[in-house]
Amino acid sequence: MESLEAQRAALEASEISSVELVTEALARSEDSGKDLGAVIGLRAEAALAEAAESDARRRGGDSRSPLEGAPVLLKDNMVMQGEPTTCASRILEPFVSPYDGAAAERLQAAGAIILGRANMDEFAMGATTENSIFGPAHNPWDPARTCGGSSGGSAAAVAAGITGFALGSDTGGSIRQPASFCGVVGMKPTYGRVSRWGLVAFASSLDQIGPFTHTAREAAWVLEAIGGHDPRDSTSLPEALPSLEPALTGDVAGLTIGLPKEYFVDDGADPAVISAVRQGVDTLERAGAKVVEVTLPHTPYVVSTYYLVATAEASSNLARYDGARYGRRAEGVEDLDAMYRRSRSEGFGAEVKRRILLGTYVLSAGYFDAYYRKAQQVRTLVRGDFEQAFERCDVIAGPTYPEVAFPIGAKLDDPVSLYLGDIYTVSANLAGLPGISLPCGEIDGLPVGMQLLGRALDEATLLRVADAFQRLTDHHERRPPGA
């Protein structure tokens, strides 16, 4: 009963209650959720009480949405009133939120039951969920391997069938990359589609919340629940979210899929990944889609551009953790300066410190023009690449990540090799475009993800293509051992 669609059907047929679903999900969270390092906090009592309310609503014929009664996990950077939000960081360990973020609020308004919090890389900085004070999260397909990151706990939990869906955040690929490693669907909506109110900021011009599910159809349900304008987020888009399910026609005839030539060369990427993705595209072509080659000429610069913009914004956003207002404060300090210094030195992990240093450096007076301003100029060029490409196609297809899930620890000492892996995902954040990763094949039993990128605001076409692919294939039905 692990998929959201199966849960919905069973709830609607009165074969199971929300209380029973939540009880089972809590048991799985305690069991495999903790073994996998995916679940780092539960709100068992509150979730069971809310599930009972959901059951009562359903009996009264008042079901709020397709998510009614279904359990969900939130990445631990989305706040909820009265609950801890740690961002997997020592500095926020004691923090309890005084208010509800938009994601939690909207999920609850849709009738979903928030079960607890999922593991992540500290402040969402990373690609392996190893930068966490809770220890790494593991890949359900092979626990010796990484589940990806930074929303690794959310991806692993959905892959392992702990909950039918989960939320993550994506600043440079943190939803799509763990989705590809864990064999689930992960979607980053258009920048501004989902409110960032109550999402702890990493890089505010890139951050976006989105769903993990097994299918594109389920992702559409979740996006309908959490998306749409929110006046509390100044970058929230004014456009209303269209109803997405009617777009899922199963038909791709008449649509054009663009393959960036820069994404289908073998330099650095596993040729088996490229070939699995190419086969996925062939499936869509046989179903009537037209396939054309496009070019994204600034691809060689996107990783450096991303790591300049993201670290600059992070160094500014993380300045607020000074020991005075949020979370942990160093003890036994003699003066204010020592309090700031020691609270931050003890509170942040190595990767977060590395990024604060890099971001502060690129914003400093003497280097601003050479790095930060230059990065913003390249960002504009990357946007232009996509504008040109989307004159020739409706969606862009390619790999989500250059390889399948690698062993935990394999890249701990080599942050730059991890940064380089973000080559296919960061462009969508730089350009503000929607992207989705969906399972399209296997290499030695490990899932491969295909990424589809769309025009701004056009999640409907992305989901339409992803759903059509899933009607023609069964990669999304494979489950890891024990799930």
Catalytic center residues? 75, 150, 174
Q: How far is the CB of 359 from ligand GLN (least distance, A)?
A: 11
Nearer to ligand GLN, 7 or 177 (CB): 177
Nearer to ligand GLN, 172 or 402 (CB): 172
Nearer to ligand GLN, 242 or 268 (CB): 268
The residue range among 90-98, 172-180, 248-256, 444-452 that interacts with ligand GLN, by the rule CB under 6 A, is 172-180
What is the rounded distance in angstroms from the CA atom of residue 307 to the CA atom of residue 285? 35
Nearer to ligand GLN, 63 or 205 (CB): 205
Nearer to ligand GLN, 37 or 186 (CB): 186
Select from 274, 310, 431, 468 the one that contacts ligand GLN (CB under 6 A). Answer: 310
User: Is the four-CA dihedral 338, 343, 349, 354 of positive or negative sign?
Assistant: negative
Please, which of residues 179-208 interact with ligand GLN by CB under 6 A? 202
Select from 3, 7, 174, 451 the one that contacts ligand GLN (CB under 6 A). Answer: 174
What is the rounded distance in angstroms from the CA atom of residue 318 to the CA atom of residue 325? 12
Q: Does 126 bind ligand GLN (CB under 6 A)?
A: yes
Q: Give the residue at shortest CB distance from ligand GLN.
A: 174
At 427, which helix (H) or strand (E)?
A: helix 426-431
User: Is the four-CA dihedral 408, 411, 413, 415 of positive or negative sign?
Assistant: negative
Let me know: does 54 contact 68? Beta carbons within 8 Å: yes
The residue range among 16-24, 170-178, 270-278, 340-348 that interacts with ligand GLN, by the rule CB under 6 A, is 170-178
Let me know: does 195 contact 233? Beta carbons within 8 Å: yes
Q: Does 209 bind ligand GLN (CB under 6 A)?
A: no
Nearer to ligand GLN, 18 or 169 (CB): 169
Please, which of residues 212-241 interact with ligand GLN by CB under 6 A? none
The phi-psi region of residue 332 (left if phi > 0; otherwise alpha if psi is between -120 and 50; otherwise beta) is left
Q: How far is the CB of 422 from ligand GLN (least distance, A)?
A: 5
Burial class (CB in 10 A: 0-12, 13-18, 19+), 405: buried
Q: What's the alpha-carbon Rg for the chain, to the nearest Å? A: 21
Nearer to ligand GLN, 54 or 174 (CB): 174
Residues pairing with 116 in the sheet:
42, 73
Let me know: does 182 contact 174? Beta carbons within 8 Å: no
Q: How far is the CB of 221 from ligand GLN (least distance, A)?
A: 23
Select from 50, 76, 385, 422 the one that contacts ligand GLN (CB under 6 A). Answer: 422
How many other CB atoms sit within 10 Å of the CB of residue 29? 27
Select from 119, 171, 299, 427 the one that contacts ligand GLN (CB under 6 A). Answer: 171
Tokens matching residue 57: 């609503």
What would the x/- binding string for ligand GLN be over residues 341 to 380, using CB under 6 A? ----------------------------------------
Within 13 Å and on the Cβ side, how many CA atoms surround 282? 7
Let me know: does 4 contact 70? Beta carbons within 8 Å: yes
What would the x/- binding string for ligand GLN be over residues 2 to 31, using CB under 6 A? ------------------------------
144: helix, strand or coil = strand
Select from 33, 66, 172, 480 the one that contacts ligand GLN (CB under 6 A). Answer: 172
Cα angle 256, 190, 441; round to 5: 55
Select from 173, 432, 439, 480 the one that contacts ligand GLN (CB under 6 A). Answer: 173
- Find, among 101, 192, 123, the residue nearest to 429 by Cα: 192
What is the rounded distance in angstroms from the CA atom of residue 364 to the CA atom of residue 308? 12
Q: How far is the CB of 390 from ligand GLN (least distance, A)?
A: 23
Q: Does 124 bind ligand GLN (CB under 6 A)?
A: yes
- Find, among 479, 25, 400, 409, the residue nearest to 175 by Cα: 400
Select from 150, 180, 299, 470 the one that contacts ligand GLN (CB under 6 A). Answer: 150
Nearer to ligand GLN, 126 or 347 (CB): 126
Tokens matching residue 77: 């950077």
Nearer to ligand GLN, 148 or 161 (CB): 148
Q: How far is the CB of 458 from ligand GLN (least distance, A)?
A: 21
What is the rounded distance in angstroms from the CA atom of residue 187 to the CA atom of residue 300? 24
Let me know: does 330 contact 323? Beta carbons within 8 Å: yes
Tokens matching residue 169: 């955040």
How many other CB atoms sit within 10 Å of the CB of residue 272? 15
Binding site for ligand GLN (CB under 6 A): 124-127, 150, 170-174, 202, 310, 422
